[in-house]
Amino acid sequence: MKKRLIALLIASTMVVSLAACGQDDNPGSPSSGSGEDVQQSQASTPESVPDSTPEGSAPETPEAPAEISGFGEAPMLADLVGAGSLPAVEDRLPVADDVYVEQTDATGAPLEIGTYGGVINLLGAGGSWGLSRPVMESIIHFNSDGTYYPNVIKSFEHNDDYTVWTFDLREGMKWSDGDDFNADDITFWYYMCHLTNYDTKKSWPALKETVDGEDAWATLEKVDDYTVTWTFVNPKFPADFIENGDFKWCWAPSHYLLDMIPDSIYVENPYWEKTGLDDEQVLLNAQAKGIDAATVNDLGKAIAYYWWNEDGIPCLNSYVLSTKEGNNSRDAQLCILERNPYFWKVDAQGQQLPYCDEIHFNATSEDGQDQLMFRSGELDIIGVLMQDISSLLSDLGDQAQLRTFAGTDWGSYQITFNYTCAEANYAELFANSKFRQAMSICVDREQVSGLLSEGFLEPGQCAPAEGNFGYDAEWETKWTEYDVDGAKALLEECGLVMGSDGFYDFADGTDFILTIYTYTDSGADAAYPVLEQYYNKAGIKCATKDIEVSAFDTEIDNNNWYAVLGPHTPIGGVSLKSRVQPFVPIAQSAEWYGEYGTYYGTNGAQGVAPEGDMAKLVEIYEKWNATPDTAERDQYTLELYDVHKENLWTIAYLKAAGNYNLVSSKIKNHPDLLVWDDLYQYQNLVHYWTLFKTE
Amino acid sequence: MEANAYKSENMHENIPKKTLLEAVKDFFKKDLVQYIVKRLLMFIPTLLLISVLVFFVIQLPPGDYVSAHIAALASEGEIVDADYAASLRADYGLDLPIHEQYFKWIKDIIWTPTDSTYYRLYGSHHNWKYSFAYGRDVWDVVDDRLGLTIAVTAIIMLFQYVVSLPIAVYASTHQYSVGDYISSVIGFLGAAIPNFILAIVLMYLSYKWTGNANVGLFSQEMLQNGIHLYNFGEFLKRMIIPIIVIGTSGTCGIIRSVRAQMLDEVGRQYTLTARAKGVPERTIVMKYCFRAAINPTVSGLGGVLSSLFSGSTVTAMVLNMQIQGPVLFKALQAQDMYLAGAIVMVQAVLVVIGILFSDIALAFLDPRIRYSGGGR
């Protein structure tokens, strides 16, 4: 079983890497011929968009393939149409040319034509994003190889100098309540929800720039009902705009939300006037719509940011939160998403998606209940740990299928150090790469693999995993050879001296104790005792402090720490375009750069100004940010990775873990070999609207 | 023989008979009313003291809701800027000194004026504040599960008493019989096995035997359509495991304690005297011994109201039951102090009321108990 898993993992990473390597030469990898393929074939890596489209235009929306002569719909909707309570399917979809035809999954494999009906049973939705991840329809969609294509919008394009971006919308597209979706919903979102900071996300980098040293925001113009433009003063390159992982949507249902926008947040704009409502009135209006908020700030975040968690708010997703009392909250024991009768995607035969009637989120209160419920058929898809896969599969036989998501973290069991530690002797020691090398080679990774992952995770280093951009076999094995004596020699070269107690002290005779922070439930608290024995063997005296995550974050923010095992923001991710923060010290975010990040995050007002290689990372990032050229960007990314490889500010002991879904055999069209990353919205790559269920 | 029988009957008749109504009237004529008033007045300082403790203990862990919330968002991949955290703290008053936060909290619970936004929104003078974790009014969150919690716990308690008391009486009157041994063994097992383990074992057996683990109190169908007559059987089926798990440990405890007390009472002088005077055995056991033997059980009723409100937290989590206990757990984890505070406060109030009730019930059961001092 273990071999099979490893084989799967390797296969998945190979597929991803092959796809990534081959896409420029063979952009039509998914398939070819139909309208949808036009869209997918023109989809390109973020880096290749400008090159492949000299005029700056990006892929057009797909046209319905010629063979689609009419549109089909779910029987439950046909009944409603028959009863006169719902318009005909043709009137619910965008105009025929703008209908989105879904023919391949996120890996490019062709989709099976499905049948309507049934319920997909999932585990409880959990956090704020739980209900959105499976069904979110965003501005663009990524394939698992990093290529992308316009999704909600029909197409996007930019002018030659990247200062004006144009979005074309799908004519006739409708909100889930049947109201028209058009450019007004975009101006409403931007001027009434976003620039007012009502959604608390005015900090989104995609729409923000710096002009004359000050923060400035794009100007949005409505050209016509189905066209808008975003205008910037400086060039706004794709990676910072359309590809930016945060910029998932730019619309809100003005017809539904307008009476919940108070005058107190209003900013002057050419499209929307003040609503004339005070704070209390909007809270009352919200309450009348079943939205409970204590303050206007809460309300703004609920309706303009986490809108999928409030029932009644129209959306463009395939499934909509039920309005039925008891099933209409993500905290409910059974939370239900219902089919959006106005969903704007169809399959290759013109059948309106989604196939299944509902998605059910079944809350559980303890680990393990999900497996019991999966076994008894109450759940259709569950996430499983590597260690549990073989026993589950052997028990369930052909009732279940395994689906793999490759991970993008740079190794697991990461340990990092406070390079801006307030105590100079510690800061100096951590800054010495020989110390980090000693911390790395003093651990027997083979043994650790057995002890912590039952041998499932192989020894590795803090480096991009195989299949990811920048993979480097040499880097992955750097400082991984187990050598206690070598580690001791390195510690002595760092100026530490062996004390009478068998542990190293600082040269001035003061005790050296490495206090390692972990946070509860990170898994690192369990790993610490294993690693501690190796550190002790090498003469490093250490202690651990396991604290609740919010207290842990406070300690990091206050620069009151020495080392962290299992950092809250681990280094890794699919690439710089997903999130920069894990790789470059530009915000108060990841532990490994601590106060250096605060320095950039606060424009130098707080924190510590970085020097040397730490500063070099920011310099390279700034160059990366200043060019739209794909090859150049890749070059800069590799340069940046080289700095990481050289320094290894964070050490990892094992390779990164993947994610695994156990899927009931009744569920069809669930792709395999996907990638688990924030940029792709994790399980969003499954495309739940294409799943169907057989009995 | 005949004379004896006559004598016994006569003796029994000689014991003054009172109707229940008379007994209750007589009971309340005593100093009890005064006692109750005194106890009710004591509620006020007691509850204030409890509220101080609750508020400060909940605040003890480092960080606050906002830091817990931001940590949760960060683990979902969202990056939150410091301004947002500061504005949240200001909105919720978390930036105020802790004593000010406390006074504001308690003041709003006791009385929120008519001209406040809260009153206009919710039409209530008691503002228990907003649950951060659930994004709703605290009382709404509590109210959501209150009915079910009370129903489930009441059924379980009923089960406990209905099962345990007859067994205890049987075991004590048939000491060292086979039945006594069986009940003792079951009693020890039930008391010794932690509930959550029993829950896991039963869920496993349920899955093995029926193909369904019966996780949770409701089927999906019930969660959508509610409980009706047609699916009530399914609901009862799903209640079996919780009743066995939560019910048995309590049942076993009651059996052990009532049996021991009964054995004590059965050997007392007054029992011997009654028996010697020919009072029927059933009357001796039920009217005299049993009444005295359930004294400790009744004393324990003080906590019953409170547990009716909260249910059994750990077992509820293992069994995925939608009752109050797990809500408190989630509130504490998320540092949702107003929700946690409200639940703990209501529990405290119920404990105080419960103890009062059990004291009154004890006096009713045992006429020797008096409430005013003076050594009467």
Nearest chain B residue to A285, by CA: B121
A301, A425: one domain: no
Which regions of chain B does DSSP assign to beta strands (E)? 130-131, 136-137
If you average pLDDT over every residue of chain A, what do you get? 88
Using 50, 70 and 90 to split pLDDT, how confident is the model at A283? very high
A576, A452: one domain: yes
Nearest chain B residue to A130, by CA: B76
The model's pLDDT over B253-309, given as tens digits with 9 standing for 90+, comes to 888 889 999 998 888 898 899 989 998 988 888 888 888 888 888 887 777 777 777
In whole angstroms, give the CA distance from residue A465 to residue B139: 49
State which residues form the domain around A181. Answer: 153-315
Which of B97, B104, B265, B250 has its CA nearest to residue B167?
Answer: B250
Residue A119, domain member (yes or no): no
The model's pLDDT over B323-342, given as tens digits with 9 standing for 90+, comes to 888 899 888 888 888 999 99
Q: Which residue has the higher pLDDT, A616 or B355?
A: A616
Instruction: Report yes or no: A148 and A46 within 8 Å, Cβ to Cβ.
Output: yes
**A40-69: average pLDDT:** 42
In angstroms, what is the C-alpha Rg of chain A? 26
In the prediction, which pLDDT does B30 show?
Answer: 62
- Subunit contact B226:A326, Cβ cutoff 8 A: yes
Interchain contact B121–A (C-beta under 8 A): yes
For B198, the token pair is 């029993």
Using 50, 70 and 90 to split pLDDT, how confident is the model at A132? very high
For A514, the token pair is 């490495």
Q: Please state which of the four CATH numbers 3.40.50.300, 3.40.718.10, 3.40.50.720, 1.10.3720.10 is assigned to the domain occupying B144-365.
A: 1.10.3720.10
Interchain contact B67–A (C-beta under 8 A): yes
In the prediction, which pLDDT does B56 show?
Answer: 86
Interchain contact B3–A (C-beta under 8 A): no
**B305-324: average pLDDT:** 79
For A539, the token pair is 């003469």
Kindly give the residue spans of alpha helices, DSSP state H, lying in A494-651. Answer: 524-537, 549-557, 594-601, 612-625, 630-647
The model's pLDDT over A450-483, given as tens digits with 9 standing for 90+, comes to 998 888 899 999 999 887 889 999 999 999 999 9
If you average pLDDT over every residue of chain B, what do you get? 82
Domain boundary among A258, A288, A315: A315
In the prediction, which pLDDT does A664 show?
Answer: 97
Domain boundary among A315, A350, A371: A315
Interchain contact B139–A (C-beta under 8 A): no
- Chosen for mutation from B59, B67, B207 (greatest number of chain A CBs closer than 10 Å) is B67
CB pairs under 8 A between A and B: 135
In whole angstroms, give the CA distance from residue A129 to residue A683: 11
In the prediction, which pLDDT does A39 show?
Answer: 39
A309, A419: one domain: no
Domain ranges of chain B: 144-365
In whole angstroms, give the CA distance from residue A492 to residue A506: 10
- Subunit contact B76:A283, Cβ cutoff 8 A: no
Residue A366, domain member (yes or no): no
In the prediction, which pLDDT does B299 show?
Answer: 81
- Subunit contact B84:A200, Cβ cutoff 8 A: yes
For A635, the token pair is 């070059």
Residue A115 confidence (pLDDT) above 60: yes
Nearest chain B residue to A364, by CA: B320
Residue A325 confidence (pLDDT) above 80: yes
In the prediction, which pLDDT does A250 show?
Answer: 97
- Which distant-in-sequence residues (6+ apart) come within 8 Å of A106 by Cβ? A141, A142, A143, A144, A671, A674, A680, A685, A686, A687
Which of A79, A321, A326 has its CA nearest to residue B225?
Answer: A326
Is the bond preceding residue B194 a cis peptide, omega within 30 degrees? no
Residue A605, domain member (yes or no): yes
The model's pLDDT over A403-449, given as tens digits with 9 standing for 90+, comes to 999 888 899 999 999 999 999 999 999 999 999 999 999 999 999 99
Instruction: Report yes or no: B65 and B337 within 8 Å, Cβ to Cβ.
Output: yes
DSSP state of B376: -
- Identity of residue B179: G
**A122-131: average pLDDT:** 90
CATH number of the domain bearing residue A552: 3.10.105.10
Which of B45-49, B69-73, B284-288, B332-336 shows the lowest mean pLDDT across its residues?
B69-73
For A486, the token pair is 């070598």
Residue B120 host element (H or E):
helix B117-122
Residue B153 confidence (pLDDT) above 90: no
Residue A24, domain member (yes or no): no
Q: Which residue has the higher pLDDT, A694 or A12?
A: A694
In the prediction, which pLDDT does B335 show?
Answer: 83
Residue A7, domain member (yes or no): no
**A478-489: average pLDDT:** 97
Question: How much of chain B is in helix, strand and coil states, percent to nearest 5?
Answer: 75, 0, 25
Compute the nearest-CA separation of B124 from chain A (Å).
Answer: 14
- B323 Ramachandran zone, left/alpha/beta (phi>0; psi -120 to 50): beta
Compute the nearest-CA separation of B258 from chain A (Å).
Answer: 35
For A348, the token pair is 């290759």
The model's pLDDT over A359-376, given as tens digits with 9 standing for 90+, comes to 999 998 888 889 989 998
Compute the nearest-CA separation of B245 from chain A (Å).
Answer: 17
Using 50, 70 and 90 to split pLDDT, how confident is the model at A53? very low
Which residues, in sequence order, are bridge partners of residue A121? Answer: A360
**Global confidence as pTM:** 0.84
Smallest Cβ–Cβ distance between A548 and the set B61, B73, B218 belongs to B61
Residue A662, domain member (yes or no): no
- Chosen for mutation from A203, A204, A334 (greatest number of chain B CBs closer than 10 Å) is A334
- Subunit contact A327:B81, Cβ cutoff 8 A: no
Which regions of A334-399 does DSSP assign to beta strands (E)? 334-339, 345-346, 358-362, 381-384
Nearest chain B residue to A361, by CA: B220
Residue A596 confidence (pLDDT) above 50: yes
Q: Which residue has the higher pLDDT, A651 or A3?
A: A651
Using 50, 70 and 90 to split pLDDT, how confident is the model at A229? very high
In the prediction, which pLDDT does B74 show?
Answer: 75
Residue A609, domain member (yes or no): yes
Interchain contact B281–A (C-beta under 8 A): no
Tokens 């209501």: give the residue.
Answer: B346
Total structural domains in chain A? 2
In the prediction, which pLDDT does B12 show?
Answer: 53
- Subunit contact B320:A378, Cβ cutoff 8 A: no
The model's pLDDT over B20-39, given as tens digits with 9 standing for 90+, comes to 777 777 766 667 777 788 88
**A223-243: average pLDDT:** 94
Which of A31-40, A374-383, A674-683 shows the lowest mean pLDDT across its residues?
A31-40
Using 50, 70 and 90 to split pLDDT, how confident is the model at A38? very low
Percent of chain B with pLDDT over 70: 90
- Chosen for mutation from B66, B144, B148, B224 (greatest number of chain A CBs closer than 10 Å) is B224
Question: What residues in A contact B62, CB-CB < 8 Å?
Answer: 547-548, 550-551, 554
For B104, the token pair is 């504001």
What's the distance, Cα to Cα, between the start and end of chain A in Å? 28
